[in-house]
Amino acid sequence: MSDDHSECGPDKDLYYRQLLSSAAMAVMAVDHDMKVVYCNGRAAELFGCPVKKLTGLTLGEIIGPERRHVIETLTQRAIEHGEYHEFEFRHETIPSLPRFLAVTISPICDPHGQPIGASTCIRDITRRIQLQEQLSQSRKMRALGVMAGNLAHHFNNILGSVVTGVDFARNSNDVRTLKRTLSNTAGALQRATQLLNGLLAFAEADYSDSDLADLTETVLYFVNQIESDLTQHRITLDLKLHEIPVMAVPMNQFMTVLRHLVGNAIDAMPDGGRLTLELEPQNQQVICRITDSGHGIEPKDLGRVFEPFYSTKELEEASAENRAQHHGLGLSVAMGIIHELGGTISITSQPGESTLVEIRLPVDPSRRLKPLVDDLEDLSLHPTEPPPKT
Protein backbone atom coordinates (compact mmCIF):
# COMPACT_ATOMS: atom_id res chain seq x y z
CA MET A 1 0.00 0.00 0.00
CA SER A 2 1.43 3.39 -1.01
CA ASP A 3 1.99 6.21 1.44
CA ASP A 4 -1.05 8.19 0.28
CA HIS A 5 -3.25 5.08 0.31
CA SER A 6 -4.79 6.24 -2.99
CA GLU A 7 -6.27 2.83 -3.58
CA CYS A 8 -8.63 3.48 -0.66
CA GLY A 9 -10.21 6.21 -2.74
CA PRO A 10 -12.70 8.62 -1.23
CA ASP A 11 -13.61 6.08 1.44
CA LYS A 12 -10.23 6.37 3.17
CA ASP A 13 -11.79 7.40 6.51
CA LEU A 14 -14.22 4.50 6.26
CA TYR A 15 -11.31 2.17 5.55
CA TYR A 16 -9.49 3.20 8.71
CA ARG A 17 -12.64 2.94 10.80
CA GLN A 18 -13.20 -0.56 9.48
CA LEU A 19 -9.57 -1.37 10.21
CA LEU A 20 -9.99 -0.35 13.86
CA SER A 21 -13.45 -1.83 14.32
CA SER A 22 -12.24 -5.20 12.96
CA ALA A 23 -9.16 -5.36 15.22
CA ALA A 24 -8.93 -8.40 17.50
CA MET A 25 -7.92 -6.21 20.45
CA ALA A 26 -9.85 -3.51 22.25
CA VAL A 27 -8.98 -0.06 20.90
CA MET A 28 -10.08 3.18 22.56
CA ALA A 29 -9.10 6.78 21.88
CA VAL A 30 -9.40 9.58 24.43
CA ASP A 31 -9.21 13.35 24.11
CA HIS A 32 -7.35 15.92 26.25
CA ASP A 33 -9.96 15.49 29.00
CA MET A 34 -9.23 11.72 28.95
CA LYS A 35 -12.78 10.92 27.83
CA VAL A 36 -13.35 8.18 25.28
CA VAL A 37 -14.15 9.59 21.84
CA TYR A 38 -13.86 6.29 20.00
CA CYS A 39 -13.91 2.59 20.87
CA ASN A 40 -14.32 -0.51 18.75
CA GLY A 41 -16.60 -3.49 19.17
CA ARG A 42 -13.92 -5.58 20.86
CA ALA A 43 -13.73 -2.98 23.68
CA ALA A 44 -17.51 -3.16 24.15
CA GLU A 45 -17.31 -6.97 24.26
CA LEU A 46 -14.36 -7.01 26.64
CA PHE A 47 -15.97 -4.68 29.19
CA GLY A 48 -19.56 -5.86 28.64
CA CYS A 49 -20.91 -2.43 27.74
CA PRO A 50 -22.31 -1.03 24.44
CA VAL A 51 -20.10 1.29 22.41
CA LYS A 52 -22.48 4.23 22.94
CA LYS A 53 -22.25 3.91 26.73
CA LEU A 54 -18.44 3.65 26.69
CA THR A 55 -18.14 6.80 24.62
CA GLY A 56 -17.87 9.82 26.90
CA LEU A 57 -16.58 7.87 29.91
CA THR A 58 -13.02 8.14 31.20
CA LEU A 59 -10.72 5.13 31.06
CA GLY A 60 -10.72 5.05 34.85
CA GLU A 61 -14.50 4.69 34.91
CA ILE A 62 -14.29 1.83 32.41
CA ILE A 63 -11.41 -0.06 34.01
CA GLY A 64 -12.78 0.26 37.54
CA PRO A 65 -11.86 1.94 40.84
CA GLU A 66 -8.92 -0.35 41.68
CA ARG A 67 -6.91 0.77 38.65
CA ARG A 68 -8.47 4.18 38.08
CA HIS A 69 -5.62 6.24 39.49
CA VAL A 70 -3.01 4.24 37.58
CA ILE A 71 -4.69 4.28 34.19
CA GLU A 72 -5.65 7.96 34.38
CA THR A 73 -2.18 9.04 35.50
CA LEU A 74 -0.45 7.14 32.72
CA THR A 75 -2.93 8.40 30.15
CA GLN A 76 -2.28 11.97 31.32
CA ARG A 77 1.46 11.40 30.93
CA ALA A 78 0.91 10.13 27.39
CA ILE A 79 -1.12 13.22 26.51
CA GLU A 80 1.07 15.82 28.21
CA HIS A 81 4.56 14.35 27.75
CA GLY A 82 4.19 11.95 24.81
CA GLU A 83 5.15 8.92 26.91
CA TYR A 84 4.40 5.33 25.97
CA HIS A 85 3.47 2.80 28.65
CA GLU A 86 2.81 -0.93 28.77
CA PHE A 87 1.57 -2.97 31.72
CA GLU A 88 -0.51 -5.99 32.66
CA PHE A 89 -3.13 -6.32 35.37
CA ARG A 90 -5.85 -8.55 36.74
CA HIS A 91 -9.38 -7.39 35.90
CA GLU A 92 -12.34 -8.94 37.73
CA THR A 93 -15.62 -8.27 35.98
CA ILE A 94 -16.87 -11.49 37.54
CA PRO A 95 -15.00 -12.46 40.76
CA SER A 96 -15.03 -16.15 39.90
CA LEU A 97 -13.76 -15.51 36.35
CA PRO A 98 -10.89 -13.01 36.52
CA ARG A 99 -9.24 -11.82 33.33
CA PHE A 100 -5.67 -10.73 32.76
CA LEU A 101 -5.30 -7.76 30.44
CA ALA A 102 -2.26 -6.25 28.71
CA VAL A 103 -2.51 -2.50 28.08
CA THR A 104 -0.50 -0.26 25.75
CA ILE A 105 -1.02 3.50 26.07
CA SER A 106 0.29 5.70 23.24
CA PRO A 107 0.03 9.44 22.55
CA ILE A 108 -1.96 10.68 19.55
CA CYS A 109 -0.24 13.67 17.94
CA ASP A 110 -1.28 16.33 15.47
CA PRO A 111 0.68 16.96 12.24
CA HIS A 112 3.10 19.15 14.21
CA GLY A 113 3.89 16.38 16.69
CA GLN A 114 1.92 17.85 19.57
CA PRO A 115 -0.09 15.31 21.66
CA ILE A 116 -3.84 15.83 21.31
CA GLY A 117 -5.04 12.65 22.96
CA ALA A 118 -4.09 9.05 23.62
CA SER A 119 -4.91 5.60 22.31
CA THR A 120 -5.31 2.56 24.51
CA CYS A 121 -4.95 -0.95 23.10
CA ILE A 122 -6.03 -3.76 25.41
CA ARG A 123 -5.43 -7.47 24.84
CA ASP A 124 -6.96 -10.32 26.81
CA ILE A 125 -3.98 -12.46 27.87
CA THR A 126 -5.89 -14.71 30.25
CA ARG A 127 -5.17 -17.83 28.20
CA ARG A 128 -1.46 -17.02 28.08
CA ILE A 129 -1.30 -16.53 31.85
CA GLN A 130 -3.20 -19.78 32.42
CA LEU A 131 -0.82 -21.69 30.14
CA GLN A 132 2.18 -20.18 31.94
CA GLU A 133 0.74 -21.24 35.30
CA GLN A 134 0.07 -24.75 33.99
CA LEU A 135 3.61 -24.99 32.62
CA SER A 136 5.02 -23.71 35.90
CA GLN A 137 2.96 -26.24 37.84
CA SER A 138 4.11 -29.03 35.54
CA ARG A 139 7.74 -28.08 36.01
CA LYS A 140 7.23 -27.81 39.75
CA MET A 141 5.72 -31.30 39.93
CA ARG A 142 8.55 -32.73 37.82
CA ALA A 143 11.13 -31.04 40.05
CA LEU A 144 9.33 -32.33 43.15
CA GLY A 145 9.46 -35.84 41.72
CA VAL A 146 13.19 -35.60 41.14
CA MET A 147 13.70 -34.07 44.58
CA ALA A 148 11.61 -36.79 46.26
CA GLY A 149 13.68 -39.49 44.57
CA ASN A 150 16.97 -37.91 45.61
CA LEU A 151 15.68 -37.28 49.11
CA ALA A 152 14.65 -40.93 49.47
CA HIS A 153 18.09 -41.99 48.22
CA HIS A 154 19.93 -39.81 50.73
CA PHE A 155 17.75 -40.82 53.68
CA ASN A 156 18.01 -44.47 52.68
CA ASN A 157 21.81 -44.22 52.84
CA ILE A 158 21.69 -42.45 56.21
CA LEU A 159 19.20 -44.83 57.79
CA GLY A 160 20.96 -47.83 56.23
CA SER A 161 24.21 -46.93 57.96
CA VAL A 162 22.37 -46.43 61.26
CA VAL A 163 20.59 -49.80 61.04
CA THR A 164 23.79 -51.62 60.08
CA GLY A 165 25.71 -50.05 62.96
CA VAL A 166 22.99 -50.79 65.52
CA ASP A 167 22.69 -54.43 64.40
CA PHE A 168 26.45 -54.84 64.70
CA ALA A 169 26.50 -53.20 68.16
CA ARG A 170 23.69 -55.40 69.47
CA ASN A 171 25.85 -58.48 68.94
CA SER A 172 28.90 -56.97 70.57
CA ASN A 173 29.82 -56.49 74.21
CA ASP A 174 32.85 -54.36 73.42
CA VAL A 175 32.50 -50.89 75.00
CA ARG A 176 34.64 -49.24 72.30
CA THR A 177 32.45 -50.74 69.58
CA LEU A 178 29.32 -49.45 71.29
CA LYS A 179 30.78 -45.95 71.66
CA ARG A 180 31.90 -45.92 68.03
CA THR A 181 28.43 -47.02 66.93
CA LEU A 182 26.77 -44.28 69.00
CA SER A 183 29.16 -41.71 67.54
CA ASN A 184 28.45 -42.85 63.98
CA THR A 185 24.71 -42.85 64.66
CA ALA A 186 24.85 -39.31 66.06
CA GLY A 187 26.77 -38.16 62.97
CA ALA A 188 24.23 -39.76 60.66
CA LEU A 189 21.32 -38.14 62.48
CA GLN A 190 23.12 -34.79 62.36
CA ARG A 191 23.45 -35.14 58.56
CA ALA A 192 19.74 -35.92 58.36
CA THR A 193 18.93 -32.81 60.41
CA GLN A 194 21.13 -30.63 58.17
CA LEU A 195 19.39 -32.10 55.13
CA LEU A 196 15.95 -31.23 56.47
CA ASN A 197 17.03 -27.72 57.48
CA GLY A 198 18.31 -27.17 53.96
CA LEU A 199 15.03 -28.36 52.49
CA LEU A 200 13.10 -26.01 54.79
CA ALA A 201 15.17 -23.07 53.56
CA PHE A 202 14.70 -24.14 49.94
CA ALA A 203 10.95 -24.31 50.51
CA GLU A 204 11.02 -20.72 51.85
CA ALA A 205 9.74 -21.94 55.18
CA ASP A 206 12.70 -21.34 57.47
CA TYR A 207 11.65 -18.61 59.87
CA SER A 208 13.86 -19.76 62.74
CA ASP A 209 16.23 -16.78 62.54
CA SER A 210 14.97 -13.34 63.47
CA ASP A 211 18.29 -11.68 64.36
CA LEU A 212 18.26 -8.65 62.10
CA ALA A 213 21.49 -6.85 61.24
CA ASP A 214 22.61 -4.27 58.70
CA LEU A 215 23.59 -5.82 55.36
CA THR A 216 26.96 -4.07 55.13
CA GLU A 217 27.84 -5.05 58.71
CA THR A 218 26.81 -8.64 57.97
CA VAL A 219 29.10 -8.79 54.93
CA LEU A 220 32.01 -7.32 56.90
CA TYR A 221 31.47 -9.84 59.71
CA PHE A 222 31.41 -12.65 57.16
CA VAL A 223 34.63 -11.43 55.54
CA ASN A 224 36.40 -11.47 58.92
CA GLN A 225 35.34 -15.10 59.36
CA ILE A 226 36.59 -16.36 55.97
CA GLU A 227 39.87 -14.44 55.64
CA SER A 228 41.99 -17.24 57.07
CA ASP A 229 40.23 -19.85 54.92
CA LEU A 230 40.86 -17.79 51.78
CA THR A 231 44.52 -17.37 52.72
CA GLN A 232 44.83 -21.11 53.24
CA HIS A 233 43.47 -21.70 49.71
CA ARG A 234 45.72 -18.97 48.20
CA ILE A 235 42.75 -16.84 47.24
CA THR A 236 42.94 -13.03 47.13
CA LEU A 237 39.83 -11.15 48.25
CA ASP A 238 38.78 -7.99 46.44
CA LEU A 239 36.17 -6.25 48.61
CA LYS A 240 34.12 -3.46 46.99
CA LEU A 241 31.59 -1.97 49.38
CA HIS A 242 29.84 1.04 47.86
CA GLU A 243 27.68 3.24 50.06
CA ILE A 244 24.23 1.62 50.27
CA PRO A 245 21.10 2.41 52.31
CA VAL A 246 20.95 0.92 55.78
CA MET A 247 18.87 -2.24 55.38
CA ALA A 248 18.18 -5.03 57.83
CA VAL A 249 18.59 -8.71 56.91
CA PRO A 250 18.36 -11.86 59.07
CA MET A 251 22.05 -12.19 59.84
CA ASN A 252 22.34 -15.97 60.25
CA GLN A 253 20.33 -16.69 57.11
CA PHE A 254 22.29 -14.25 54.95
CA MET A 255 25.55 -15.61 56.37
CA THR A 256 24.34 -19.06 55.28
CA VAL A 257 23.83 -17.74 51.74
CA LEU A 258 27.31 -16.21 51.66
CA ARG A 259 28.89 -19.40 53.07
CA HIS A 260 27.35 -21.54 50.34
CA LEU A 261 28.28 -19.16 47.55
CA VAL A 262 31.83 -18.52 48.73
CA GLY A 263 32.26 -22.25 49.45
CA ASN A 264 31.39 -23.01 45.83
CA ALA A 265 33.80 -20.28 44.70
CA ILE A 266 36.62 -21.80 46.77
CA ASP A 267 35.91 -25.24 45.30
CA ALA A 268 36.11 -23.70 41.81
CA MET A 269 39.63 -22.34 42.51
CA PRO A 270 41.65 -25.36 43.77
CA ASP A 271 44.92 -23.71 42.71
CA GLY A 272 44.07 -20.30 44.14
CA GLY A 273 42.69 -17.23 42.44
CA ARG A 274 40.73 -14.05 43.05
CA LEU A 275 37.38 -13.65 44.78
CA THR A 276 35.46 -10.37 44.40
CA LEU A 277 32.67 -9.46 46.81
CA GLU A 278 30.73 -6.30 45.98
CA LEU A 279 27.76 -4.35 47.34
CA GLU A 280 26.22 -1.68 45.12
CA PRO A 281 22.97 0.35 45.18
CA GLN A 282 20.79 0.47 42.06
CA ASN A 283 17.41 2.21 41.93
CA GLN A 284 15.36 0.71 44.77
CA GLN A 285 17.59 -2.36 45.10
CA VAL A 286 20.91 -3.38 46.56
CA ILE A 287 23.05 -5.73 44.48
CA CYS A 288 25.47 -8.20 46.05
CA ARG A 289 27.91 -9.73 43.54
CA ILE A 290 30.28 -12.62 44.16
CA THR A 291 32.76 -13.30 41.35
CA ASP A 292 35.47 -15.97 41.27
CA SER A 293 38.27 -16.64 38.78
CA GLY A 294 37.63 -20.37 38.80
CA HIS A 295 36.89 -22.95 36.11
CA GLY A 296 33.33 -21.75 35.49
CA ILE A 297 30.18 -23.76 34.80
CA GLU A 298 29.36 -25.52 31.55
CA PRO A 299 26.23 -24.25 29.71
CA LYS A 300 24.54 -27.65 30.05
CA ASP A 301 24.83 -27.41 33.85
CA LEU A 302 24.08 -23.71 34.30
CA GLY A 303 20.29 -24.11 33.97
CA ARG A 304 20.17 -26.77 36.71
CA VAL A 305 22.46 -25.38 39.40
CA PHE A 306 19.55 -24.34 41.65
CA GLU A 307 17.94 -27.80 41.59
CA PRO A 308 18.14 -29.61 44.95
CA PHE A 309 20.85 -32.31 45.05
CA TYR A 310 22.16 -31.38 41.61
CA SER A 311 25.90 -30.84 41.56
CA THR A 312 28.69 -30.64 39.02
CA LYS A 313 31.36 -32.01 41.38
CA GLU A 314 31.93 -35.22 43.26
CA LEU A 315 31.45 -35.18 47.02
CA GLU A 316 35.15 -35.67 47.74
CA GLU A 317 35.91 -32.54 45.66
CA ALA A 318 33.73 -30.32 47.84
CA SER A 319 35.28 -28.31 50.63
CA ALA A 320 34.81 -29.43 54.23
CA GLU A 321 32.52 -26.44 54.79
CA ASN A 322 30.25 -27.49 51.92
CA ARG A 323 30.20 -31.13 52.95
CA ALA A 324 29.05 -30.11 56.40
CA GLN A 325 26.17 -28.15 54.88
CA HIS A 326 25.27 -31.16 52.69
CA HIS A 327 26.59 -31.56 49.19
CA GLY A 328 24.16 -30.63 46.43
CA LEU A 329 21.86 -28.34 48.42
CA GLY A 330 23.93 -25.15 48.74
CA LEU A 331 22.51 -23.12 45.86
CA SER A 332 18.98 -24.41 46.50
CA VAL A 333 19.19 -23.23 50.09
CA ALA A 334 20.60 -19.86 48.98
CA MET A 335 17.79 -19.40 46.48
CA GLY A 336 15.14 -20.24 49.07
CA ILE A 337 16.51 -17.71 51.55
CA ILE A 338 16.91 -14.92 48.97
CA HIS A 339 13.38 -15.46 47.63
CA GLU A 340 12.07 -15.32 51.19
CA LEU A 341 13.74 -11.91 51.50
CA GLY A 342 11.88 -10.74 48.39
CA GLY A 343 14.98 -10.79 46.19
CA THR A 344 16.37 -12.68 43.23
CA ILE A 345 19.56 -14.65 42.63
CA SER A 346 21.14 -15.42 39.26
CA ILE A 347 24.34 -16.98 37.95
CA THR A 348 26.34 -16.25 34.82
CA SER A 349 29.51 -18.09 33.94
CA GLN A 350 32.29 -18.24 31.38
CA PRO A 351 33.58 -21.85 31.30
CA GLY A 352 37.27 -21.92 32.11
CA GLU A 353 37.31 -18.29 33.22
CA SER A 354 34.91 -17.13 35.94
CA THR A 355 31.49 -17.32 37.58
CA LEU A 356 29.36 -14.40 38.75
CA VAL A 357 26.55 -14.76 41.29
CA GLU A 358 24.29 -11.72 41.55
CA ILE A 359 21.82 -11.19 44.38
CA ARG A 360 19.25 -8.38 44.13
CA LEU A 361 17.44 -7.33 47.29
CA PRO A 362 14.73 -4.66 47.58
CA VAL A 363 15.64 -1.78 49.86
CA ASP A 364 12.11 -1.93 51.27
CA PRO A 365 11.74 -5.42 52.82
CA SER A 366 7.95 -5.24 52.51
CA ARG A 367 8.14 -5.27 48.71
CA ARG A 368 7.86 -8.57 46.88
CA LEU A 369 8.41 -9.37 43.23
CA LYS A 370 5.07 -9.73 41.44
CA PRO A 371 4.25 -11.17 38.02
CA LEU A 372 1.67 -8.43 37.39
CA VAL A 373 2.02 -4.75 38.25
CA ASP A 374 -0.03 -3.67 41.25
CA ASP A 375 0.80 -0.02 41.83
CA LEU A 376 1.65 3.18 40.06
CA GLU A 377 5.21 3.26 41.30
CA ASP A 378 5.94 -0.03 39.54
CA LEU A 379 4.32 1.20 36.33
CA SER A 380 6.19 4.48 36.17
CA LEU A 381 9.74 3.21 36.63
CA HIS A 382 10.40 2.31 33.00
CA PRO A 383 8.13 4.00 30.44
CA THR A 384 8.35 2.30 27.06
CA GLU A 385 10.57 4.04 24.52
CA PRO A 386 8.52 5.65 21.73
CA PRO A 387 9.02 4.26 18.23
CA PRO A 388 11.44 6.21 16.02
CA LYS A 389 9.85 9.01 14.03
CA THR A 390 9.73 8.43 10.29
Residues 345-386: pLDDT tens digits? 999 988 888 899 999 998 865 443 333 344 444 443 334 455
Same domain, 72 and 220: no
Whether 387 is covered by a domain: the verdict is no
Same domain, 172 and 35: no
pLDDT digits over 32-70, tens only?
Answer: 888 999 989 888 888 888 888 899 998 888 888 877 888
Burial class for 84, CB neighbours closer than 10 Å (0-12, 13-18, 19+): middle
Same domain, 220 and 336: yes
Same domain, 257 and 354: yes
User: Is residue 121 a contact partner of residue 104, using CB atoms and an 8 Å limit?
Assistant: yes
User: Is residue 120 a contact partner of residue 72, using CB atoms and an 8 Å limit?
Assistant: no
Same domain, 138 and 84: no
Strand partners for 354: 350
Same domain, 259 and 336: yes
| Total domains present in the chain | 3
Q: Please state at what angle helix 215-232 crosses helix 251-267, rounded to 10 degrees.
A: 30
Whether 162 is covered by a domain: the verdict is yes
Q: What residue type is 310 in one-letter code?
A: Y
User: For residue 308, what is the domain's CATH number?
Assistant: 3.30.565.10
pLDDT average, residue stretch 226-233 = 92
User: Is residue 247 a contact partner of residue 362, using CB atoms and an 8 Å limit?
Assistant: no
Nearest C-alpha neighbor of 361 from the set 259, 253, 226, 206 = 253
Same domain, 349 and 225: yes
User: For residue 173, what is the domain's CATH number?
Assistant: 1.10.287
Same domain, 264 and 357: yes
- For residue 266, the model assigns a pLDDT of 93
Whether 386 is covered by a domain: the verdict is no
> What is the C-alpha to C-alpha distance for residues 70 and 67, in angstroms, rounded to an integer?
5
pLDDT digits over 196-209, tens only?
Answer: 766 665 554 444 44
User: For residue 59, what is the domain's CATH number?
Assistant: 3.30.450.20
How are beta strands 344-350 and 354-362 bridged, if at all?
antiparallel
Same domain, 136 and 103: no
Confidence of residue 222 (pLDDT cuts 50, 70, 90): very high
Is the pLDDT at 315 greater than 80? The verdict is no
Phi, psi angle pair for 49, to nearest 5°: -145, 135
Range of 134's domain?
A: 127-202
Same domain, 288 and 212: yes
Task: Give the start-end residues of each E strand in 210-301.
Answer: 212-214, 235-241, 248-250, 273-282, 285-292
User: Is residue 375 a contact partner of residue 68, using CB atoms and an 8 Å limit?
Assistant: no
> What is the C-alpha to C-alpha distance for residues 174 and 176, in angstroms, rounded to an integer?
6
Confidence of residue 289 (pLDDT cuts 50, 70, 90): very high
Whether 381 is covered by a domain: the verdict is no
